[in-house]
Structure 1
Amino acid sequence: MSERPPISPRSPRAALEPEQLPPPPRRSERARNPFIVAGNAIITILLIAMLAVGVGYYYGKQMLEAPGPLQEEKIVNIPQRAGKRDIADVLTREGVIDISPWFFIGGVYALKASSDLKPGEYAFQRNASLREVIATIVEGKVVQHAVTVPEGLTSEQIVARLSDNDIFTGSVTEMPREGTLLPETYKFPRGTSREQVIQRMQQAQKRILAEIWEHRSQDLPFKTPEQLVTMASIVEKETGKPDERSRVAAVFLNRLKQRIKLQSDPTIIYGLVGGKGTLGRPIKRSEITQPSPYNTYVIDGLPPGPISNPGRASLEATANPARTRDLYFVADGSGGHAFTETYDQHQKNVARLRAMEKQVQNDTVEPAADDNPPAAANASVDTPTVPGAPRPAAKKPRAPAAAGAKQGGAQQSAQGAPLRNAPPAAAPVQQQ
């Protein structure tokens, strides 16, 4: 066992003083190098920055992916020339987001979309996250509004409809030529100019007409596609039943080939009112013989141009008509028409229609004096005439009118075809 070294006695004063500890070892010259100190500081700062970035990334991702406050799909309009802060304010006001605008701006920068935000009308889905909201605006998939232009309207009527639709901007500087617009259902974003709408309808009409003209029957009495459009515009105004278009077209084409006047009431109306389309009253007998480039009771062949903008179905029916020898047609009392090759058979159909309408009149309760009479089916008015036949002086039965209607219930024309732009209710042709 080793012996402890002897403890030297200390004086009482020394015993009261604190024991001296040995000095710490001196740092090496290398550790005191300023470059080492700076390097350590930089590493520390980087570690803190990385930690901050990691925390920020985690919470930022949570913010981008978290479900939004929308309870149902909503359409919001982002105005033109709106800045990022303006867009954030719009989205907050519309309830699409419920975060600080600065968080939205931060999300835009985080997704590298600061220069890709596009104005327009957008549909934001229910509970859309901030990432989805920004992606919707960046992709520019704006809401498309369906706009339906009915067949048989004149160019003036179509322009009026476009002018009344508030999703479009600007005005139409020049009225499109009749028959150059294709009636169809189109989709446009809000803010589309009306000139662009007209151009698109014209381009669609040119494309469809070229396709139909290429596949037309080779025995048609037309020299140009424009003549086909003119005839199709008459067919369009004469019947609203899809299964009758080709047969109505055949009647008029047969009459053209045999050099018989077309005698179509819609052409008379167009000659009287032009692009306005509607006469607002029955045709007067004096107007049937009134000279006009569009009065097919007076002129031979086709009028100088279309009387409406026909749809694709009427163009196709005119280009490929039914293979019949029909020259006449009259309302059959059920919303359609009876077609015949001879005038005698046509007169029998007229007599049958008169009997049906007389029965309807007998079964109809007379309305009160101050009430408007109902537009009963096949209400009796005037005696129908036929294409190519002398117009009788006696009154003829007419189907009830329905202004602007495409299907059934349209006013009966002179040869028994419906005038869809005639005034409602039946009234006798006025004498003048």
Structure 2
Amino acid sequence: MWRHIASNAVSFLLVGLFLAGGVILWGKGQYTAEGPLAEPICLQVERGSNIRDVSQDLEEQGAVSSAAIFRIGADYTDKAGQLKAGSFLVQPGTSMEGIVDVVTKGGASTCGTEVVYRIGVNRISVQVRELDPGTGRFVERAQFTPAEDEVPALYEDTKAKGDTRFRIALAEGVTSWQIVEGLKAVEVLDGEIAGVPAEGTLAPDSYEVRPGDSREELLAQMADAQDVLVAAAWESRDPGIPIETPEDLVILASIIEKETGVAEERGQVASVFVNRLNQGMRLQTDPTVIYGITQGEGVLGRGLRRSELRRETPWNTYVIPALPPTPIANPGRASLLAAAQPEETDYIFFVADGTGGHAFAETLDAHNQNVARWRQIEAERGSEAAGNASTGGN
């Protein structure tokens, strides 16, 4: 009898182990399988949350089939204690294992609300925007100019949230002084700025920051980024261009940056200046004259006077026979590449064409015709600055 009882006990134990093993395998399969989420969601993980809070939220939003399996899986992989606060984009079909990785891996939010401080050539603006998980696009919630507009309550509320992302966006063609003044106005940053970095040494780009980040350290990051861009452009340069140093390449790129806002024109504008340098002609470009007046501290805000075109400054390319001694702005990657690899043309003149772009010419006669057309356009628009719009040797 005892032998029979023992045999039954062993059988029950084996069945129990088999069932337990089956349950574990089933649970593991559920944990790693494609999830039930049909549409992307932005998962908010508040500060102080735990894995139980997150698992219940995910189950309620239909992102996981079982909150319990999600918790067990996170505990089993020793990731439950690595939960990060933030806003995280969860894509359709993401497994529980994948979601655990998303909320424990980094800490940088991948969706939700973002405050962008835009430092532009003409103004500094602040934008509050939110990523729409369904489209993957940001939707603007508020926008204002600090120096002119009342600060919206939404901005203050958003700034106070722990999962808000902050970004500094520099426009191509801003000066170093404008960048420094812009960073001083970004209230989430800390620290003083010892001085204005050399013109042309900061990379126009978008930089993610955190409240309390150092302004000086951010400037150093911008300088490191520009060093990389300049080195890459210099390495890829056309050996035939009349540019002898990386510093001169940045100077030329800064002039290109200030002369056109049309991306497709950069190579042609670069070709005009390269052709002029090769022929020993003055560059005769208005932005260099303006820089000689403002030293990069703000915008001129009016047209150039004829006396200013004749006034001798180190940057006035109507007077000096070559490149100015320093850049006149901080050029971006595209302008650096245009300076390094200009298009091959015979153009030596260009003038505004009324569309936002320019009309290019190989001869003075053709250029004069383009200038006449531009003056007619300006006259029709009733502009008082018709005589100051020509660039490139009028």
TM-score of the two chains, using structure 2 as the length reference: 0.61
Q: Which residue in 2 is equivalent to 1:223?
A: 244
In structure 1, give the amino acid aligned to 2:76.
A
Return closer, same or farther for 1:316/1:55 CA change in 2, 3 Å cut-off. Answer: closer
The Cα shift of 1:345 comes to 4.7
CA deviations on 1:49-69 (whole Å, 9 max, x unpaired) are: 748946864885587479978
Return the structure number with greater strand share: 2
Query: What does 1:20-419 align with in structure 2 at a 5 Å threshold?
Result: 50=17, 53=20, 57=24, 64=31, 72-78=39-45, 83-84=50-51, 87=54, 105-126=71-92, 130-140=96-106, 149-157=170-178, 170-171=189-190, 174=193, 176-183=197-204, 201-257=222-278, 260-290=281-311, 292-323=313-344, 326-340=347-361, 343-355=364-376, 357-358=378-379, 361=380, 380-383=383-386, 396=387, 412-413=389-390, 415=392
Say which SS state the counterpart of residue 316 (structure 1) adopts.
Answer: helix
CA deviations on 1:298-317 (whole Å, 9 max, x unpaired) are: 54533332122223332233
Q: Which residue in 1 is equivalent to 2:152?
A: none
CA deviations on 1:25-72 (whole Å, 9 max, x unpaired) are: xx9xxx8xxxx9xx99x9799679748946864885587479978663
Unaligned runs of 5+ in 1: 1-26, 362-375, 384-395, 399-411, 418-432
Say which SS state the counterpart of residue 244 (structure 2) adopts.
Answer: coil
Task: Report the RMSD for the aligned CA atoms in angstroms.
Answer: 5.0
Return closer, same or farther for 1:300/1:69 CA change in 2, 3 Å cut-off. Answer: same
CA deviations on 1:328-371 (whole Å, 9 max, x unpaired) are: 3223445443444554553343234334555xx2xxxxxxxxxx
Cα pair 1:75 1:124 within 8 Å, conserved: yes
Question: Which ranges of 4 or more aligned residues in structure 1 deviate by more than 6 Å?
Answer: 42-49, 65-69, 92-95, 97-100, 145-148, 159-166, 189-192, 194-197
Return closer, same or farther for 1:343/1:156 CA change in 2, 3 Å cut-off. Answer: same
Cα pair 1:144 1:188 within 8 Å, conserved: no
Distance 1:414 1:50 in 2: 85
The Cα shift of 1:207 comes to 2.9
Distance 2:107 2:55 in 1: 18
Cα pair 1:121 1:189 within 8 Å, conserved: no
In structure 2, give the amino acid aligned to 1:250.
S
In structure 2, give the amino acid aligned to 1:122.
F
Return closer, same or farther for 1:89/1:266 CA change in 2, 3 Å cut-off. Answer: farther
The Cα shift of 1:230 comes to 0.7
TM-score of the two chains, using structure 1 as the length reference: 0.57
Distance 2:93 2:268 in 1: 55
CA deviations on 1:392-422 (whole Å, 9 max, x unpaired) are: xxxx2x6xxxxxxxxxxxxx355589xxxxx
Distance 1:279 1:181 in 2: 22
Distance 2:253 2:33 in 1: 58
Distance 1:276 1:91 in 2: 52
Distance 1:256 1:55 in 2: 79
In structure 2, give the amino acid aligned to 1:305.
T
Return closer, same or farther for 1:296/1:79 CA change in 2, 3 Å cut-off. Answer: farther
**Aligned residue-pair number:** 336
In structure 1, give the amino acid aligned to 2:88.
Y
Return the structure number with greater helix share: 2
Of stretches 216-225 and 254-263 in structure 1, the one that deviates more from structure 2 is 254-263
Say which SS state the counterpart of residue 307 (structure 1) adopts.
Answer: coil
Of stretches 67-76 and 189-198 in structure 1, the one that deviates more from structure 2 is 189-198
CA deviations on 1:72-91 (whole Å, 9 max, x unpaired) are: 31223546786545655776
In structure 2, give the amino acid aligned to 1:246.
G
Return closer, same or farther for 1:304/1:88 CA change in 2, 3 Å cut-off. Answer: farther
